Structure 1
Amino acid sequence: MTAVKALLLENVMGTIEDASASWGISVSFISIILLPIVGNAAEHAGAIIFAFKNKLDITLGVALGSATQIAVFVVPLSVIVAWMIGIKMDLDFNLLETGSLALSIIITAFTLQDGTSHYMKGLVLLLCYIVIAACFFVCQTPLSKYL
C-alpha cells in the first residue's frame, strides 16, 4: 500500500502547478495544506475514531507519532539522499513556514501539558490550523522554491 500511495502522490505532485493555475490556489497551499490531508486521510480517521472513544493516548500516538517520524527521520534522510544524487534540497524555510511551525509547536505543547482533553482544546487546535491554512492560501510562493 505504501508503494501504491507513493506512486499516486508522485502523479499528484506532477500536476500541482497546473492545478494551482486552473484553480487559482497558491502552490504552497496545495502542497502544505491539501496534500497532507489527502495523503493521511486514513490516519486522521483512525485518530478521530479513537478520540470519540476517549482513548487520548492512542489518539496522540497516531497524530503526533507520524509528525515526529517525518521530522526526525524522513526529512533528514531526504536531504541527505538529495545531496548524494546531486539535487539541491535544503531546509531553507521562509518566514511564514518557520512561523507556522513555531506556532504549531507552541500551541500543541500548551494544549497537551496538563494531560487532559475537552472540546475547547480541540477547537483551539482546529482554529490554529484554519489560521495557518488561510495564511498559506493567500501566500503566493512560486513552485520553483519547492522544486
Structure 2
Amino acid sequence: LNRQYNLLPEDELDNWLSAQNQDDTALLDAYREAAIADDTSAETLNYIEILNEDANWLSQLSTVEGYELLGKEEADILGQKTQILHYKYAANEDTMLEFMEVSAIKDNMLYTVTIWAEESQFAKNQATYKEMLTSLAWVDAPEAETAE
C-alpha cells in the first residue's frame, strides 16, 4: 500500500482543486454523478483523474527530471474499473526504477498500491508484477480482541 486518502466531500474537493489552481466543473460533475449513483468504479476513475491529472500529480512528475509516464491501461482491479499506471524514475545516474501503480476506493478511502524495481529487474518480471496488481483482493481486518 503506497498511499491512502480520505475521499473529500464534494465541497472540500472543489476547494482543494481551487487551491491547486484547477477549475474543472466537468470532473466534479462526473464525480458527483458517480457518487450519487453509488458507482464505485466510475467514482474511482474520476477521483484518480482529479488527483493524478487535474490536481497535477502526474503532470508534476512529467516535469521532474528523471520521471517518465510510460503508459496507462484501464483494468478491473478489486472489483472496480481503474487504471494501471506505468512510469519510471531515475533514482540517480546509475539507477533507473520502474513502477506500476493502481488505485481503488473502499469505505470512502482511496487506496494506492505500487510495485517497483530496478529497470532491468522490472523488465524481467513485468508480467508477474501486472498479475500481482490484477489479482489483488480486499482482506477484512481481523476483529480486535477485547480484554475481559
TM-score normalised to structure 2 length: 0.31
Question: When you count helix as a share of all residues, which structure comes out higher?
Answer: 1
Point out which structure has higher relative CO (alpha carbons under 8 A, 6+ apart): 1
